[in-house]
């Protein structure tokens, strides 16, 4: 009798344990929500979608806002499915994190307004305004002789990121060819100054080390800057120094989109 009673007690405990486990699994599954946004499926947690009270998504999940279902029983929202990943990432992280080169600020701002996420909408608009301001500011890079700043090449552009790209390219090439880096040249915010920057017999200015190790010509730098600009969608304006007669002989290049 004692053995039977013990067995029954163990069975009851197992049933209760399984019941508790199944309840936990059930609660976990019901906390997962699948959204069909413009044909793209997103799976996330209920707490993520309800993070901001009075938002469109919080209203759907808590039944304040009616939302249709697709054929599989998922919530269907007729919005931009690709951009929704940024909406969801904002809900997860609590901050605006966008990939480098993101250019759909205006569309994302509209999506944020639709989903009634004012904090996100304000963040996108602030980012957009900063980019617009930066695009109107002309940035320059000066490549020059540390002893004579009147000699060298100047590159102007209304896109700071492009100037930074050219700058990093020149520094990378120079670093690989000059063993004495950074002694042979110095780098500041908008200027690269070479220690030995002399003129050859045929008039071409060369970047040289003291032992005459060849690095590059200014013409090479001009050509590479132009090719990089064209690949990035920029166009070359008239040389800033038209008195030189041609781009090859000019002291400055000006790029704009």
Domain's final residue, options 134, 150, 185: 134
Domain's final residue, options 79, 102, 134: 134
Same-domain pairing of 106 and 38: yes
pTM of the predicted model as reported, rounded to 2 decimal places: 0.49
**Whole-number Å distance between alpha carbons of 138 and 97:** 26
- Position 4 scores a pLDDT of 42
Q: What are 31-70's pLDDT values in tens digits?
A: 899 999 999 999 999 999 999 999 999 999 999 999 999 9
Torsion of CA 73, 74, 78, 79, to 10 degrees: -170
Same-domain pairing of 116 and 164: no
Is residue 9, in this structure, part of any structural domain at all? Answer: no
pLDDT band at 234 (very low <50, low <70, confident <90, very high): confident
Is residue 62, in this structure, part of any structural domain at all? Answer: yes
Domain tally for the chain? 2
Whether residue 79 is predicted with pLDDT greater than 70 in this model: the reply is yes
Q: What percent of the chain has pLDDT over 90?
A: 35
Is residue 11, in this structure, part of any structural domain at all? Answer: no
Same-domain pairing of 130 and 145: no
Same-domain pairing of 143 and 170: yes
Same-domain pairing of 129 and 146: no
Same-domain pairing of 128 and 31: yes
Domain's final residue, options 85, 100, 134: 134
**Whole-number Å distance between alpha carbons of 15 and 179:** 75
Same-domain pairing of 154 and 244: yes
Same-domain pairing of 144 and 180: yes
Same-domain pairing of 167 and 122: no
Same-domain pairing of 97 and 146: no
- Residue 122: alpha-carbon gap to chain centroid: 18
Is residue 20, in this structure, part of any structural domain at all? Answer: no
- The angle at the Cα of 226, spanning 220 to 229, to the nearest 5 degrees, equals 140
Is residue 12, in this structure, part of any structural domain at all? Answer: no
- Domain containing 145 equals 139-256
**Whole-number Å distance between alpha carbons of 193 and 184:** 9
Strand pairing report for 191-194 and 139-145: parallel
Is residue 174, in this structure, part of any structural domain at all? Answer: yes
Is residue 16, in this structure, part of any structural domain at all? Answer: no
Same-domain pairing of 121 and 171: no
Is residue 188, in this structure, part of any structural domain at all? Answer: yes
pLDDT, average across residues 14-27 = 52
User: Who wins on pLDDT, 49 or 138?
Assistant: 49
Same-domain pairing of 162 and 94: no
Assigned token pair, 63: 């039944």
CATH of the domain at 117: 3.30.710.10
Q: What are 87-109's pLDDT values in tens digits?
A: 999 999 999 999 877 889 999 99
């Amino acid at each position: 009798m004692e053995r039977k009673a013990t067995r029954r007690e163990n069975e009851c405990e197992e049933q209760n344990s399984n019941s508790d486990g199944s309840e936990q699994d059930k609660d976990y599954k019901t906390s997962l929500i699948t959204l069909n946004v413009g044909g793209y499926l997103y799976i996330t947690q209920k707490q993520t979608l309800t993070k901001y009270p009075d938002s469109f998504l919080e209203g759907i999940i808590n039944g304040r806002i009616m939302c249709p279902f697709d054929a599989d029983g998922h919530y269907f929202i007729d919005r931009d499915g690709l951009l929704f990943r940024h909406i969801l990432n904002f809900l997860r992280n609590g901050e605006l994190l966008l990939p480098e080169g993101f250019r759909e600020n205006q569309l994302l701002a509209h999506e944020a307004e639709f989903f009634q996420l004012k904090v996100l909408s304000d963040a996108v608009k602030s980012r957009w305004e900063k980019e617009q301001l930066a695009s109107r500011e002309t940035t320059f890079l000066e490549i020059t002789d540390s002893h004579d700043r009147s000699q060298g090449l100047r590159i102007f552009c209304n896109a700071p990121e492009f100037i930074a790209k050219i700058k990093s390219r020149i520094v990378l090439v120079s670093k690989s060819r000059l063993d004495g880096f950074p002694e042979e040249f110095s780098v500041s915010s908008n200027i690269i100054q070479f220690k030995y920057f002399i003129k050859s017999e045929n008039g071409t200015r060369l970047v040289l080390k003291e032992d005459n190790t060849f690095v590059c010509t200014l013409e090479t730098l001009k050509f590479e800057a132009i090719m990089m600009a064209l690949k990035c969608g920029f166009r070359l304006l008239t040389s800033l120094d038209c008195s030189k007669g041609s781009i090859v002989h000019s002291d400055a290049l000006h790029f704009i989109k």
